[in-house]
């Protein structure tokens, strides 16, 4: 009886003191910020560096073709964004960005789809379709080498906070937060791989594990699945906010899309 | 999508490098999806490169070949003519692309 009471009391004490919902505060020191490229093997680096061998260029080529071709009844992207004005060089480095009209946070994929709807009268492309990946890859490739730099002031501030919250919140069966791997243990080994700092500057990217080209949201879904948490939907507001937080966190890193990752 | 890298011009007897890549999943047939069902095999079986109508490079692909197969090989420029690249999958569907090589 005594023991049963004692065990009961211990259980209650345990139940009343839930584990912290958030991982401890941490960061990657400003001088230590490194692109995921730095953690790749030499062969994979070589694949990214060779503009022919890099399979991501299959999608860049597809995007370029779509960019210059008119769909039924619509003008081409290059009509507005060609030599005449609104060039897209360097633009991708500043996404995600808040849309001034709706106040919604848009990543590059969402911005491309909004442009299709508003200026071309076309249906949005499906997230993760080869066509949307291609368009995104092409536009992002025009910013290769540009330093990542996003605005987190004004209307963007709340999205930044939401993204930061997700990054430090413990989730899934493993009860892990993004920060526990990518802030606290980057550079160390996780099975056969080196843990990166979790920057998105190479995305959309070709991933050898996928044998395919994919968006940052696909990568985030993989990370969430890896810690046995429920992945968010493609294009969800939560992942948009995470994307903004990650971009701010990666500020100054050169854009690499179409990157190659393991 | 197909990507080809081949020179437009070459000198007689010169050895030129050509590269070819095609977007294809090269699904092995050994994997299963989230529900446990087998994902059917879907691979390219044959690659052929013809220069001036003659086959100069040929390859047979198996399930062990990675997605988006990439081949690079060399040719000796002997005459002006088309270089034709063609891929045939297991169902007999064919994709091809041609480049003209001018030899001086």
A135/A108 Cα distance (integer angstroms) = 9
Positions in chain A whose pLDDT score sits under 50:
10-14, 16-17
Compare all CA atoms of chain B with the CA of A65 and give the residue at the minimum distance.
B1
Give the model's pLDDT for residue A73: 80
Nearest chain A residue to B4 by CA: give it.
A52
Alpha helix (H) residue ranges in chain A: 2-16, 42-49, 56-68, 77-81, 108-119, 130-141, 157-168, 178-182, 216-226, 237-249
The pLDDT value given to residue A72: 81
Q: Which residue out of A46, A50, A53, A213 would a mutagenesis test of the B interface target, given it has the greatest number of B Cβ atoms within 10 Å? A: A53
Per-residue model confidence as pLDDT tens digits over B48-96: 999 999 999 999 999 999 999 999 999 999 999 999 999 999 999 999 9
Cα pseudo-dihedral A216, A220, A221, A223, rounded to 10: 140
Reported as a single tens digit per residue, the pLDDT across A186-239 is: 999 998 889 999 999 999 999 999 999 999 999 999 999 999 999 999 999 999
**By C-alpha distance, which of A127, A149, A152, A150 is closest to A204?**
A127
pLDDT score recorded for residue A16: 47
Residue A20 has what pLDDT? Answer: 66
Q: How far apart are CA A46 and CA A54, in angstroms?
A: 9
Compute φ and ψ for B75, nearest 5 degrees. Answer: -130, 155
What domains, with CATH codes, occur in chain B? 2-103 (2.60.40.10)
Distance CA B46, CA B64 (A): 14
Min distance A66 CA to chain B CA atoms (Å): 12
A21 with A233: CB under 8 angstroms? no
Q: Do A58 and B67 touch (CB under 8 A)?
A: no
Q: How far apart are CA B61 and CA B73, in angstroms?
A: 16
* Other residues' Cβ atoms within 10 Å of the Cβ of residue B37: 8
Higher pLDDT, B41 or A19: B41
Predicted ipTM beyond 0.90: yes
Collapse the DSSP code of A7 into the 3-class scheme (helix H, G, I; strand E, B; otherwise coil) and give the result. helix
Q: pLDDT tier at B97 (50, 70, 90 boundaries)? A: very high
**Facing residue for A61 by CB, picked from B1, B5, B68:** B1
Q: In this predicted structure, what is the pLDDT of residue A82?
A: 78
Q: What per-residue confidence (pLDDT) applies to A132?
A: 97
Q: Which tens digits make up the pLDDT trace of A92-110?
A: 999 999 999 999 999 999 9
According to the CATH classification, is domain A23-261 in 1.20.1050.10?
no
CA distance A255 to A180: 25
For A213, phi then psi, to 5°, come to: -95, 140
pLDDT for residue A111: 97
> In this complex, is the C-beta atom of B3 within 8 Å of any C-beta atom belonging to chain A?
yes
Which residues, numbered 192 to 251 in chain A, qualify as contacts with chain B under a Cβ-Cβ cut-off of 8 Å?
211-212
> B38 and chain A: CB distance < 8 Å anywhere?
no
Contact of A81 with chain B, judged by CB distance below 8 Å, is answered with no
Question: How many CB pairs (< 8 A) connect A and B?
Answer: 29
Judge contact between A246 and A239, C-beta under 8 A: no
Q: Hey, of B3, B63, B65, B73, which one would you mutate to test binding to chain A, going by the most A CBs within 10 A of its CB? A: B3
Query: Residue ranges of the domains in chain A?
Result: 23-261
Buried b (16+ CB within 10 A) or exposed e, B44-82: beebbbbbeeeebbeeebeeebebbbbbeeebebbeebe
CB crowding A132-149: b at 16 or more within 10 Å, else e: bbbbbbbbbbbbbebebe
- Give pLDDT, residue A210: 96
pLDDT value of position A17: 46
């Amino acid at each position: 009886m005594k023991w049963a009471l004692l065990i009961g009391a211990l259980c209650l004490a345990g139940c009343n003191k839930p584990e912290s919902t958030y991982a401890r505060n941490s960061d990657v020191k400003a001088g230590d910020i490194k692109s995921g490229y730095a953690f790749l093997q030499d062969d994979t680096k070589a694949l990214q560096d060779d503009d022919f061998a890099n399979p991501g260029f299959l999608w860049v080529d597809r995007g370029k073709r779509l960019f210059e071709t008119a769909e039924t009844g619509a003008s081409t992207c290059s009509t507005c964004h060609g030599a005449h004005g609104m060039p897209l060089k360097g633009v991708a480095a500043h996404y995600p960005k808040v849309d001034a009209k709706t106040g919604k946070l848009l990543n590059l994929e969402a911005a491309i789809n909004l442009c299709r709807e508003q200026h071309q009268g076309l249906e949005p492309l499906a997230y993760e379709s080869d066509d949307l990946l291609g368009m995104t890859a092409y536009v992002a490739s025009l910013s290769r080498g540009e330093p990542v730099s996003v605005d987190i002031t004004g209307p963007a501030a709340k999205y930044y906070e939401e993204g930061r919250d997700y990054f430090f919140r413990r989730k899934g069966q493993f009860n892990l937060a993004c920060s526990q791997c990518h802030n606290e243990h980057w550079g160390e080994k996780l099975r056969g791989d080196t843990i990166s700092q979790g920057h998105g500057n190479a995305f959309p990217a070709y991933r050898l594990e996928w044998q395919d080209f994919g968006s940052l949201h696909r990568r985030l879904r993989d990370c969430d699945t890896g810690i046995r948490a429920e992945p968010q939907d493609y294009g969800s507001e939560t992942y948009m906010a995470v994307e903004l937080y990650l971009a701010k966190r990666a500020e100054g890193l050169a854009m690499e899309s179409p990157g190659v990752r393991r | 999508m197909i990507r080809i890298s081949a020179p437009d011009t070459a000198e007689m007897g010169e050895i030129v490098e050509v590269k070819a890549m095609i977007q294809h999943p090269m699904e092995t047939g050994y994997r299963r999806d989230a529900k446990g069902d087998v994902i059917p095999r879907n691979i390219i079986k044959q690659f052929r490169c013809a220069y001036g109508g003659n086959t100069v490079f040929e390859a047979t692909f198996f399930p062990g070949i990675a997605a988006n197969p990439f081949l690079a090989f060399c040719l000796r420029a002997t005459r002006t003519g088309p270089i034709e690249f063609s891929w045939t999958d297991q169902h007999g569907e064919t994709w091809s692309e041609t480049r003209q090589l001018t030899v001086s």
